[in-house]
Structure 1
Amino acid sequence: MRFAFLFLVATSLVLSDYCECKQFTRCGLAKTLSQIKGIKKSFLGTWVCLIEKVSKRETTALTVKSNGKKAYGLYQIPSEWCKEGKRGGRCNIKCEDLLNDDIRDDTACALKIMEEHGFQYWSLWTTRCKNDNFITNEIYKCPDLNRLSPERSLFLNRGSALRRRRSINRTIRKSRFRRSRRTN
């Protein structure tokens, strides 16, 4: 028993050097997702929250449930959507491909799941992300994200329009004041 445990630990340490694993930062994940086709910008915060809650933003996350079923990768995609050892499942993908750093195929499969079942397919989204805008608000503070939230851009556009109006009004007042001084 002790030998088996030591062998498992040693094997894990050796394989971890060859592992393609990445744990995204929240901002890094938001930036990467914003560049993937199919992710709507208005749902960017929802996707980041989902990933954060189900896999802690780690590409190699693998969960084995007590009934033997597995969930893979960033989105914790269940084995019915992929096939171990070869392409297959409802997403026609190898399960092992959901555990590497290339998240485009993971995201394509997650988008398919979302289109068929919605975000409520992931129970953690329902309990931890639904009606919670904290992460959405946080990612729009990311310096690398070249996009403003719809609310912020609307506010800023309103604010800049207001500033332009005030500037025009000041200019008009100044020119009226100058004219009135010349006539007096």
Structure 2
Amino acid sequence: MKIILLFLYVFVVDAKKFTRCRLAKELVDIKLFQKTFLGNWVCLIEQVSDRDTSALKVSPSGKKSYGLYQIPSKWCKEGKKGGDCNIACESLLDDDIRDDTACAVTIFNKEGFKYWNQWTTRCKKNIDFITREIYKCPGLIKGRSNRRKVSPVTDLPSEELKNRRKQTKNGIDRRIGNR
């Protein structure tokens, strides 16, 4: 009994409930799918697990679905690596979402988003709204609000930068000398 409680405690401690923006950022950082699908993935995760990495659902027939993507045990194996994703089901319940996302992408590549009923019923028609909301997240897309100013001078290779500075200095010296 103590071993089971300790086992559950480890997964509860390592679990994470994401905000929409943090989830989107993590998914972009993982780089396992095109950004054009980001809204689809975020909506799917919100619908199936409410962005909670520790989500575990058991159907009345005893079938289990794990983690952010609610991946069924067909794709993983309890207690050790296995299933179509070659992953331990328990590893889908921690806060490291790379393996979860890799498995979800495997499912998507074989079945498409239609594999998840919640995507079909709740995301398919609302994806533009979710996508617009995601792209409001600060720092999500490089080149938006947190973009540093690009200077045509300071972003040059050092040798070219030195030459331009020298030319500018010479031009200023000539103008001052001509007065």
TM-score bracket relative to the smaller structure? 0.7 to 0.9
Greater CA deviation, 41-50 or 31-40? 31-40
Which of 59, 63, 70 is residue 65 of structure 1 equivalent to?
A: 59
Corresponding residue number in structure 2 for 1:44? 38
Aligned length: 139
Q: CA RMSD in A?
A: 2.2
Corresponding residue number in structure 2 for 1:22? 16
The whole-number CA distance in structure 1 between the counterparts of 2:143 and 2:121 is 27
Q: 1:141 aligned to 2:136?
A: yes
Q: Which amino acid aligns with 1:135?
A: I
Shift of the alpha carbon at 1:19? Answer: 2.1
Q: Specify every segment of 5 or more residues in structure 2 that has no aligned partner in the other structure, as ranges.
A: 145-179
Q: 1:91 aligned to 2:85?
A: yes
Secondary structure at the counterpart of residue 63 of structure 1 = strand
Q: Which amino acid aligns with 1:67?
A: S
The whole-number CA distance in structure 2 between the counterparts of 1:17 and 1:86 is 15
Secondary structure at the counterpart of residue 85 of structure 2 = coil
Q: Specify every segment of 5 or more residues in structure 1 that has no aligned partner in the other structure, as ranges.
A: 1-6, 150-184
Shift of the alpha carbon at 1:15? Answer: 3.1
Structure 1 residues 87 and 122, CA gap change in structure 2 (3 angstroms) = same
The whole-number CA distance in structure 1 between the counterparts of 2:103 and 2:140 is 24
Secondary structure at the counterpart of residue 93 of structure 1 = coil
Task: Report the structure, 1 or 2, having the larger helix content.
Answer: 1
Shift of the alpha carbon at 1:148? Answer: 7.5
Secondary structure at the counterpart of residue 74 of structure 2 = helix
Q: Which amino acid aligns with 2:132?
A: N
TM-score by length of 1: 0.71
Contact 1:140/1:148 (8 A) holds in 2? no
